[in-house]
Structure 1
Amino acid sequence: MWDFVSDQPKTPLLDLIESPADLRRLRESELRQVADELRTDLIDAVSRTGGHLGAGLGVVELTVALHYVFDTPADRIIWDVGHQAYPHKILTGRRARMRTVRQEGGLSGFAKRTESDFDPFGAGHSSTSISAGLGMAVARDLSGGKNNIVAVIGDGAMSAGMAYEAMNNAGALDARLIVILNDNDMSIAPPTGAMSAYLARLVSGKTYRGLRDRAKTLSKILPDFMREGARKTEEFTRGFFTGGTLFEELGFYYVGPIDGHDLDHLLPVLKNVRDAQNGPILVHVVTRKGKGYAPAESSADKYHGVAKFDVVTGTQAKASSKGNAPSYTTVFAESLIQEARDDDKIVAINAAMPSGTGLDLFGEAFPTRTFDVGIAEQHAVTFAAGLASEGYKPFVAIYSTFLQRAYDQIVHDVAIQHLPVRFAIDRAGFVGADGPTHAGSFDTGFLVPLPGMVVMAAADEAELRHMVRTAALYEDGPISFRYPRGNGVGVEMPARGEALAIGKGRVLVEGTKVAILSFGSRLADSLAAAEELETFGLSTTVADARFAKPLDAELITRLAREHEVLLLVEEGATGGFASQVLHLLSERGLMEHGLKVRSLIMPDLFVDHASPDAMIKSSGLDKAGIVDAVFKALGKGATRVMQA
């Protein structure tokens, strides 16, 4: 498929497709070529931009088959875990923009309602498709519609309880809904070649379903003692050959497993379930993550999300770093390993993100003390609470955006019971190309209201090491620490962390007129801003709050009393650290004597994907934004006066 002269994939059939309507004009015999061309085009696009690759490669044939069989966008296809949606984007009029994916002003890396009519429901987190699809199916029925609703769930999303809650409800409602289980990790029941495909086609067809429905009708006139036996006999017979008893118990008609890369298997089954007129159906499709690209097939984790890479060799571009600064994730993992060597009560928990959270390293060192619970953040938190109740020291490492899903468990199972669970909150703040679905905006705001919760934020990689040590030693209730994505700022690293005094900040630079109080990742820019302000004659204090709860009331009071301007800086949404400080200042009457207080926080909107630096700049949280905020607080003429 590749033209190595121009280094562009040749895609004559794909070039004809501007929308799925064009795809449906082709002959079935041409779809194999379309799939091959789609796969090479996907590889080429992602090699130039970076992004999610493995999951998309695994659903190429499934995507072609779905858009060929179903009348999209009238028929709704809901992609769970947006990583799978790249081939879908190419076939639905966005191919020309695929080289802009995850770039500022370009396509989202996930399904997005505002981007296309072919994206009926957005997806950034997982396990939502069946719930959303059921809602659409019920809305269709209430409106008298006839269109199909298809939820494609996979990439580990079936490990989340929400998927089963939705299936249980769909089965109880007997809703006409199609669920495609894209089984691309460990097959629930491995396909057995031609026989499996034959059975799937048989049980999804009208003849079998007609016989089954007539058998159900007949069973209603049987005596009670025979009726249940007949039902179980049919269920057992089909389950014996095809599997799927769990889904049947939830009320779904199970079809599969079938080879998700064989269009000859996929097309007839999808046509059969499309034409079914009643009840929920689950089609179990087995695919291979990274299919068709050898480097991705051999290393599914490495090629789940990729930087730009060389198509021929598979070599990925190295991420830029600040000098030799380590990543925050690595610092967390290595620091936790240090603590765990001296304390066998320390255990670590993640929710299907061992490498993303650094706990793959911890797992290598302590395999029996590391727990990956799957995409089940709620369970992760309560599981940790159970461990803590028995005297263990659980560290729950979850991205900020995913921790939101476990808030009820944090409140009821941890905070109310005052259990010492340690929350390591990765990807706090802006995350760049992953955009608003993955931004770590709200964790400080939803944790600080909880009585007894200690809330910290690391200003740099050394502070993160101190906070891991602090959390390991702290036993008087729950404690959290947040840290950003990417590399540290290049500070000197201690050999081991030191326990911090709970609720105490630190002053790095002393001044007299302006005070900048930073919480977390904006400290380096705050220090740079102070240097620039000094050139204008503005003597500036810079302090690192370290804690949003408990606040360092003594430090904050001194800064408010001794300075004309107090600037509060944090990479978080409203309701977080700055809100806590403003409340304290108000309670103590410190805003009544001319103090000019300004808070710099994330804007009150969901910021679209861009580079992290661009997102920081547009939000006014960089050095220039901090300097500008000081001058605005001092008045319009401040800049002229200082320059003069």
Structure 2
Amino acid sequence: MSDVPATPLLDTVQTPDDLRKLPPDQLQQLVDELRAETISAVGTTGGHLGSGLGVVELTAAIHYVFNTPDDRLIWDVGHQCYPHKILTGRRDRIRTLRQGGGLSGFTKRAESEYDPFGAAHSSTSISAALGFAIANKLSDAPGKAIAVIGDGAMSAGMAYEAMNNAEAAGNRLVVILNDNDMSIAPPVGGLSAYLSRIVSSREFLSVRELMKKLARRLPRPFHHAARKTDEFARGMTMGGTLFEELGFYYVGPIDGHNLDHLIPVLENVRDAEEGPILVHVVTKKGKGYAPAEAAADKYHGVQKFDVITGAQAKAPPGPPQYQNVFGEALAREAESDPRICAITAAMPSGTGLDRFAAAYPDRFFDVGIAEQHAVTFAAGLAAQGLRPFCAIYSTFLQRAYDQVVHDVAIQNLPVRFAIDRAGLVGADGATHAGSFDVTYLATLPNMVVMAAADEAELVHMVHTCVLHDSGPIAVRYPRGNGVGVETPTEAQRLEIGKGRLVREGKTVAILSLGTRLAEALKAADQLEAKGLSTSVADLRFVKPLDEALIRRMLTSHEVAVTIEEGAIGGLGAHVLTMASDEGLTDGGLKIRTLRLPDLFQDQDKPEVQYADAGLDADGIVRTVLTALRHNSASLTEGARA
């Protein structure tokens, strides 16, 4: 555990009200202590570090200048919000980040009034802030809405859709573009900061608005000339033409780590009578912590680490992660098939496609945070005869559902979906859980949906996807390490819609989809010990179902249990529908469906989450015993007899 740093000034700040009482000459000490506390906390818990370190000064400046929470501060994505949480009454719990019963790793409305809008997915902040701003305007309530959005999130169309409608909010809307990666601006420095203060001042904005109104009254040639003159004068030193065209007053770029630059500009923006305004702030991920600044990913997401050395705690050696199994399997397939392409939405390493990208750069496409585009782009590739793999986290694929339906499924195009992070994801909590993909995909005509039970099955399923040219196909797999089976050197093509019987019994049938198979086999051992002969089937496919195997299981056992790592509407629903259509329950068969509960589960260790959901071996056994109206004591006695 990291030592807690000395923070005498930060100790006096419980809320932004306390922060605003500090004189300006103490703010630098405050942010230095805030950065040290953030590093120490994340060293203890793990989590997102580099992004939070990059906005320490910006966080303090916003809360210092604006009247939060009456002024609504909305962080895009939210992984940079740890310093914000420290300053808004949650410092005493900051070392519970991302743990069971602890603070969320993202903004969360239920946690604090200083989190007016929950986030964890990208590019939502401007739309939400616009909603707050317009609501205040319509009700004549005070308060501004401030959206802080990173340059990476600006790759998503939703941000521009919101900006295109933002003019109606007037000066109640402020967008802060946190530019920490892309070079979309001229160099920052003293002159730029000076010009930003001038351009953001009330006098300048008032003159600009007056000139715009005057120009509208002039004949069109003069109106056009006045507008061009204004754009030219600003463009010489300021840039920002795109944002101006979308109706924003552009201010920047300014150094996001210099409080002497930040505070005056934000004060001008706060007091401006015109708007909306976009403030372009340039920051550096990992700022102020040498190991993070030196790392290629700026310590974006880290395990627990030693604050002094930066060395992260290493997980004990174990099986490979599913994402790496997928990436390596796809790269091997691409060796002999030049039609294979790989697409991801800003997650090359998270999906394991960094290996593919290194080997086949011309066939790898990172489209940025633009899942809708990724899916339709893949559809275009497939329509032209290529074999595209669209690798997207389950929770992010939700953002492109219309494209999956309209652009892929209806046209029956052979897009291959590699659905990472399927099922529960532990510390990232409800916002990143892959709970719904089986339900929303398996309901679609033409779609094939598979779930890998282990690493070997994933290799076979990647190969099956490659060879499936008759329509869309998806394979889902969880976050984390495999179960430890040997990965095959020769991949097999699986027969579409055919499962496998892993264990055969007579009384209980467990029908498993995905990596719950290991728990199903443990449950079978426990049931056998209680005298209940148990079959276990790995269905592999939820669409289409292996109807022959399911029919056999349902007609030859007393109780059948389905188990899956997904919400209602998935495997269990499809099996129940089949059983109902064919009258398979008429003989008294008891069917029970085990699935994720109808709620959003908070963060915890995955094994705890699955146990809470009843999706572990003990949960399966309890379900079987309840269905058979037996208890474990009587069954044990029967087994002994």
Give the TM-score band, short-chain normalised: over 0.9
Asked whether 1:604 is paired with 2:598, we answer: yes
Alignment of 1:38-49 (within 5 A): 38-49=34-45
1:492 is displaced (CA, Å) by 2.2
1:53 is displaced (CA, Å) by 0.3
Q: 1:130 to 1:300 in 2, by over 3 A?
A: farther
Q: Find the counterpart in structure 2 of residue 471 from structure 1.
A: 465
Work out which of the residue numbers 50, 54, 58 in structure 2 matches 1:54.
Answer: 50
Query: Secondary structure in 1 aligned to 2:108?
Result: coil
Asked whether 1:398 is paired with 2:395, we answer: no
Asked whether 1:191 is paired with 2:182, we answer: no
Query: Secondary structure in 2 aligned to 1:508?
Result: strand
Mapped partners of 2:538, 2:618: distance in 1 = 19
Q: Which amino acid in structure 2 is aligned with residue 443 of structure 1?
A: D
Query: Secondary structure in 2 aligned to 1:354?
Result: coil
Q: Is the 8 A contact 1:327 1:486 kept in 2?
A: yes
Query: Secondary structure in 2 aligned to 1:409?
Result: helix
Q: Is the 8 A contact 2:502 2:537 kept in 1?
A: yes
Tell me the alpha carbon deviations over residues 90-145 of structure 1, each in whole angstroms, 9 at most, x when there is no partner: 00011111100000000000000000000000001010000000000110011111
Tell me the alpha carbon deviations over residues 17-63 of structure 1, each in whole angstroms, 9 at most, x when there is no partner: 00000100101111011111100100000001000000000000000
Mapped partners of 1:413, 1:358: distance in 2 = 25
Q: Find the counterpart in structure 1 of residue 227 from structure 2.
A: 231
Q: 1:155 to 1:51 in 2, by over 3 A?
A: farther
Q: Find the counterpart in structure 1 of residue 163 from structure 2.
A: 167
Q: Find the counterpart in structure 2 of residue 446 from structure 1.
A: 440
Q: Find the counterpart in structure 1 of residue 374 from structure 2.
A: 380
Asked whether 1:97 is paired with 2:75, we answer: no
* Structure 1 gap segments, 5+ residues each: none
Q: Which amino acid in structure 2 is aligned with residue 520 of structure 1?
A: G
Mapped partners of 2:570, 2:31: distance in 1 = 48
Q: Which amino acid in structure 2 is aligned with residue 418 of structure 1?
A: N
Mapped partners of 1:287, 1:187: distance in 2 = 11
TM-score of the aligned structures, taking structure 1 as reference length: 0.97
1:175 is displaced (CA, Å) by 6.1
Q: Find the counterpart in structure 2 of residue 625 from structure 1.
A: 619
1:637 is displaced (CA, Å) by 4.4
1:173 is displaced (CA, Å) by 5.6
1:223 is displaced (CA, Å) by 2.4
Alignment of 1:207-222 (within 5 A): 207-222=203-218
Q: Is the 8 A contact 2:133 2:169 kept in 1?
A: no
Mapped partners of 2:69, 2:168: distance in 1 = 27
Q: Which amino acid in structure 2 is aligned with residue 481 of structure 1?
A: V
Q: Is the 8 A contact 2:393 2:422 kept in 1?
A: yes
Work out which of the residue numbers 537, 546, 549 in structure 2 matches 1:552.
Answer: 546
Q: Is the 8 A contact 1:57 1:289 kept in 2?
A: yes
Q: Find the counterpart in structure 2 of residue 516 from structure 1.
A: 510
Q: Is the 8 A contact 1:333 1:361 kept in 2?
A: yes
Q: Is the 8 A contact 1:150 1:180 kept in 2?
A: yes
Alignment of 1:297-308 (within 5 A): 297-301=293-297, 303-308=299-304
Q: Which amino acid in structure 1 is aligned with residue 12 of structure 2?
A: L
Q: Is the 8 A contact 1:54 1:300 kept in 2?
A: no
Spell out structure 1 runs of 4+ moving beyond 6 A: none
Asked whether 1:589 is paired with 2:583, we answer: yes
Query: Secondary structure in 2 aligned to 1:496?
Result: coil
Q: Is the 8 A contact 1:470 1:499 kept in 2?
A: yes
Q: Which amino acid in structure 2 is aligned with residue 266 of structure 1?
A: L
Q: Which amino acid in structure 2 is aligned with residue 252 of structure 1?
A: F
Query: Secondary structure in 2 aligned to 1:203?
Result: helix
Q: Is the 8 A contact 2:531 2:635 kept in 1?
A: no
Moved more, 63-72 or 273-282: 273-282
Q: Find the counterpart in structure 2 of residue 158 from structure 1.
A: 154
Q: 1:505 to 1:638 in 2, by over 3 A?
A: same
Query: Secondary structure in 1 aligned to 2:418?
Result: strand
Q: 1:312 to 1:437 in 2, by over 3 A?
A: same
Query: Secondary structure in 2 aligned to 1:355?
Result: coil
Q: Which amino acid in structure 1 is aligned with residue 466 of structure 2?
A: A
Work out which of the residue numbers 398, 417, 421 in structure 2 matches 1:427.
Answer: 421
Moved more, 492-501 or 551-560: 492-501
Mapped partners of 2:577, 2:316: distance in 1 = 40
1:448 is displaced (CA, Å) by 0.7
Asked whether 1:417 is paired with 2:414, we answer: no
Q: Find the counterpart in structure 2 of residue 113 from structure 1.
A: 109
Q: Is the 8 A contact 1:55 1:155 kept in 2?
A: no
Alignment of 1:110-509 (within 5 A): 110-154=106-150, 156-171=152-167, 174=170, 176-301=172-297, 303-320=299-316, 324-509=318-503
Q: Which amino acid in structure 1 is aligned with residue 60 of structure 2?
A: V
Tell me the alpha carbon deviations over residues 224-257 of structure 1, each in whole angstroms, 9 at most, x when there is no partner: 2211110121022112211100000111110000
Q: CA RMSD in A?
A: 1.3
Mapped partners of 1:89, 1:531: distance in 2 = 47
1:440 is displaced (CA, Å) by 0.3
Mapped partners of 1:220, 1:584: distance in 2 = 67
Q: 1:269 to 1:522 in 2, by over 3 A?
A: same
Q: 1:320 to 1:171 in 2, by over 3 A?
A: farther
Tell me the alpha carbon deviations over residues 545-589 of structure 1, each in whole angstroms, 9 at most, x when there is no partner: 000000000000000000001000001000111111110010000
1:155 is displaced (CA, Å) by 5.7
Mapped partners of 1:643, 1:399: distance in 2 = 47
Q: Is the 8 A contact 1:138 1:175 kept in 2?
A: no
Q: Is the 8 A contact 2:202 2:273 kept in 1?
A: no
Paired residues, number: 638
